[in-house]
Amino acid sequence: MTEFKVGSIDARATKIRNVPIAVTPEGFWCCPSQAVLQKTMKNQNQQAKPKGGASPLASKASSVQRAPTISSERRAHSTPTRSRINSGEQKCSPAENSTPNPLKVANDRPQKQHKISVGFGQLEMSDLKVVLYGKDGVAVKMSVHRNTLAENSTWFADKLSRQSPISSMEVPDCEDVEIYVETVGLMYCNDAKQRLIKQSVPRVLRILKVAELLGFQACVLSCLEYLEAVPWVGEEEENVVSSVRHLQDGNYGVSPILKRVCSDLSSPPNDTFVHIIELVLKSSEDRGRREMKSLVLKLLKENSSSSSSVDIYAETLYRSSQNCLESLSTLFRQVTADDFAEQSSDLKEPVFRQIALEADNLLWLVEILADRNAAGEFAVIWSNQGELAELHSRLPTKSRHLVSCVTARLFVAIGKGEMLPSKDTRKLLLDVWLQPLMDDYNWLQHGCRSFDRKVVEEGIGRTILTLPLEDQQTILLSWLGSFLKVGDSCPNLLKAFEVWWRRTFVRPYVEQGNQSRAVQS
């Protein structure tokens, strides 16, 4: 667009064809889309073919389409922009029917162009012709007024001031002819912003790009005002931000647009994150709490790989988990007290509900920490909750099973390598919490929809197999006694048992045999 040519326009060098023209709400005739233009030219080519051996000249009248005319009602209203379409007669000579020279056609651009003639303002007073050469053989000749273009466009003003009075100019390789024409038409409008109403965001971004290249500042400002006020849908946000960010250095005032997506703060406000976590944890409405937990967990997973975000949120998550754990311990002591059994069910039920709520909150926090590979410290804290694990068996399974879900999630995290606690922590975690988990296993399978048995069993087995062989034997033999009694009501750790068996009974003899063969050789 930065190039232009000055010269006369030869109407005979380029075929002028009729195309459908769209009428805007302001009565301004604009260039049709490229797809419509190509479709129209294809139809015209088909209509122009002679039928039944008749000569091309005989069908000339029927092959020429009439351009749309402005009604008397539209003429009564003085519209800011009008258009006219020149219709040329299509004549076929023997030279045209013969096979063209490829080199000649390639070097002769006007022979391939299909031109649309568009006029603006008072056509009888137009003093400049601008021809836009676009893609796919499309060309648009605009009848314009040099003063209007020079007053609104710094690009046109610069080009026109460099030359003596000229009557025509060309813009080769125009990327977006349709929008170029519409942007020039906006120079004839008193209120460009009003003209943009009901336009789509992608189209306004195209107009903004052309207006910026032309130095049409009033149009750029109108486009920015539109983008600041209109909602953005889906991928439009990234397109808008990328289109206006480079305008920050200018005096266009893009800050209101960018403030919609970014704050003046260099990092996310931790106080706001704390407030959101507290609101979710304190909520007692089941559906709202469940949906918000799912959403926050999803949003945090999106940037879980950022080490800076881990540092920002970890302290808040651990503080909240510690509060939940303290509340849970207090409630466990309350339920296991001697006088609690004598209370009415109306007094007991709120306590059991609060236990389930705190356990669910704790499970959610552990899920976030595990996804962010930051649950190692919590594994240490949880493995030292011997009192809580001891009181666990004295509560009804219905109200305590979510506590076992916390244990299961930690085993899964260790099995997947999401955290790397020490050997002592892993051993203590199994000693303290594996049996309570096994006690609740039947309920977890049938009463907890989010419980994935295979994943949990794999996590438990892998955690056991990270211990020294003697510890593996102690834990697996204890598990075997329970498994042979209750079967499916106990975790199925047969895979881990098989690995332990091979390590204990097969590997020593294999290694001895390898050593013997090595000595003999």
**What is the DSSP-derived secondary structure letter of residue 168?**
E
**Strand-strand pairing, 128-133 and 138-144:** antiparallel
With CA atoms as reference, report the closest residue to 152 among 233, 221, 226, 71: 221
**Residue pLDDT, tens place only, 228-247:** 888 888 888 888 888 888 88
Q: What is the arithmetic mean of pLDDT over 435-440?
A: 94
Per the listing, tokens 């003697």 go with 470
How many CB atoms lie under 10 A from the CB of residue 363? 21
Q: Does the pLDDT value for residue 505 go beyond 50?
A: yes
3-state secondary structure of 341: helix
Q: What is the CATH number of domain 114-259?
A: 3.30.710.10
**Among 1-10, 125-134, 317-326, which stretch is predicted with the lowest mean pLDDT?**
1-10
Average pLDDT, the chain: 77
**Residue pLDDT, tens place only, 367-393:** 999 988 889 999 999 999 999 999 998
Which parts of 98-200 fold into alpha helices (H)? 102-107, 146-152, 154-162, 177-186, 192-196
Predicted pLDDT at 175: 87
Cβ atoms of 444 and 401 within 8 Å: the answer is: yes
Per the listing, tokens 């109407």 go with 11
Q: Does the pLDDT value for residue 10 go beyond 80?
A: no
Give the model's confidence band at 42: pLDDT under 50 very low, under 70 low, under 90 confident, else very high.
low
Orientation of helix 270-282 relative to helix 307-336, angle to 10°? 30
Predicted pLDDT at 110: 44
Cβ atoms of 385 and 325 within 8 Å: the answer is: yes
Q: What is the arithmetic mean of pLDDT over 312-317?
A: 82
Beta bridge partners of 140: 116, 132
**Among 20-29, 130-139, 509-518, which stretch is predicted with the lowest mean pLDDT?**
20-29
With CA atoms as reference, report the closest residue to 429 among 465, 398, 385: 385
Predicted pLDDT at 49: 52
8 Cβ contact list (under 8 Å, min separation 6)? 167, 168
3-state secondary structure of 102: helix
424 φ/ψ angles, rounded to the nearest 5 degrees: -65, -40
Predicted pLDDT at 271: 79
This prediction has a pTM of: 0.63
Predicted pLDDT at 55: 36
Q: Does the pLDDT value for residue 253 go beyond 90?
A: no
**Residue pLDDT, tens place only, 315-359:** 889 999 999 999 999 999 999 998 888 888 888 899 999 999 999
What does 480-510 look like in DSSP terms, one character per residue?
HHHHHHHGGGS---HHHHHHHHIIIIIHHHH
Give the model's confidence band at 460: pLDDT under 50 very low, under 70 low, under 90 confident, else very high.
very high
**Residue type for 114, please?**
H
3-state secondary structure of 23: strand
**Residue pLDDT, tens place only, 413-426:** 999 998 999 999 99
